[in-house]
Amino acid sequence: MLDEYIEEQKIVYKTLKNAITKNKYSHAYLFEANGNPNAYKIVLAFAKMLLCPYNYSNNLNCVKCTQCHKIDNNSFDDIKIIDADGMWIKKEQLDELQKSFNTKSIQSNKKIYIIKNAEKLNVQASNSILKFLEEPEEGIIALLITNNMYQLLNTIISRCQIISLAKSKKTNLLELLISEEELELKLDIINKFVKNLEIEKLNTLLVTQNLWHDYFKERTNYNIGFELLLLYYKDLLNLKLNRKLEVFEIKKDTLLEISQKNTVDQLINKINKIIELKEYIKVNANQNLLLDKLIIELVRGE
């Protein structure tokens, strides 16, 4: 339950626990997973705490709660979980949800639906969700989980309370694999790489390709390269939106120059492309081909 994450998710834990103990929870939350593999477990733990008759955050206290036992055994009717059916989450899945929520609950006074991979809501499904969110019903709580908030409709995002999960220590590539000096070097390389592509465009193609190959050769390194690149573009977007830079503050001058050459939409598109291509590393896609695609996307920047 939620208490397991008290260390890893300091801020999130405090926010969620406060919301429940003060009985001031929102009717919709959007959890930004940030690659944390425990995202679903954390969200489920929050749902359990919301539904537990005593709002316990520690499972050990729940020995006598019938509800909590039912949730553990997946036999609790008032939590519904929706995930992609193939590529997308479809409208029919949400229609079904609505139907099942129309019958009055006999088990508790709250009903919760969790949407995994919310970035996979198709257009029609997004509109259905929007209707849910625009006219919230007493006692119904939506918990959306996504690894890519930028693919959701702005109108959905604006109706949810956003909870950004801390990365799990184990998945934090940067902390795990790169020492301080190495990180500094790699930030430098990524900065040069993006600068070449965004400013020199294709004039320095060969040099730029080699730059990547020299520093992000093997598969693990490839992952780090893409991870850093993603952070770079997120910081470009942060700069564009006058937000605080997360990683590349030391390269602010270059970032400023590059961000002026991109619109907000272009930066969001590039972020989405990098996330999309990053997925191919997992399935061992041809690395040269991947790099070529990446370069084309970043130079073209539509």
Question: Using CB under 5 A as the criterion, which residues of the chain lie in contact with Zn ion when the complex forms?
Answer: 52, 56, 62, 65, 68
Minimum distance from residue 14 beta carbon to Zn ion (Å) = 20
Minimum distance from residue 157 beta carbon to Zn ion (Å) = 31
Minimum distance from residue 79 beta carbon to Zn ion (Å) = 13
Q: Which is nearer to Zn ion, 42 or 274 (CB)?
A: 42
Q: Which is nearer to Zn ion, 34 or 59 (CB)?
A: 59
Query: Under the phi-then-psi rule, with left for phi > 0, alpha for psi from -120 to 50, and beta for the rest, what region is 117?
Result: left
Neighbour tally for 153: CB within 10 Å: 14
Calpha distance 27→155 (Å, rounded): 15
Tell me the angle at which helices 39-51 and 10-21 cross, rounded to the nearest 10 degrees: 20
- Give the SS3 label for residue 28: strand
Q: Which is nearer to Zn ion, 50 or 52 (CB)?
A: 52
Minimum distance from residue 61 beta carbon to Zn ion (Å) = 7
Minimum distance from residue 185 beta carbon to Zn ion (Å) = 50
For 258-284, give the DSSP string.
Answer: HHHTS-HHHHHHHHHHHHHHHHHHHTT
Contact 82, 98 (CB under 8 A): no
Minimum distance from residue 21 beta carbon to Zn ion (Å) = 14
Q: Which is nearer to Zn ion, 52 or 295 (CB)?
A: 52
Beta strand segments in 66-119, E: 79-82, 111-115
Q: Which is nearer to Zn ion, 46 or 215 (CB)?
A: 46
- Stated as kind and residue range, the H or E segment containing 91 is helix 91-102
Minimum distance from residue 115 beta carbon to Zn ion (Å) = 24
Minimum distance from residue 97 beta carbon to Zn ion (Å) = 24
Q: Which is nearer to Zn ion, 11 or 54 (CB)?
A: 54
Q: Which is nearer to Zn ion, 47 or 271 (CB)?
A: 47
Q: Which two tokens stand for residue 92?
A: 């029919």
Q: Which is nearer to Zn ion, 62 or 294 (CB)?
A: 62
- Give the SS3 label for residue 62: helix
For 185-246, give the DSSP string.
Answer: HHHHHHHHHHHIIIIIGGGGHHHHHHHHHHHS-SHHHHHHHHHHHHHHHHHHHHHHTTPPPS
221-259 CB burial, b ≥16 within 10 A, e <16? ebbbbbbbbbbbbbbbbbbbeeeebebbeebeebbeebb
Residue listed under structure tokens 């909870």 = 163
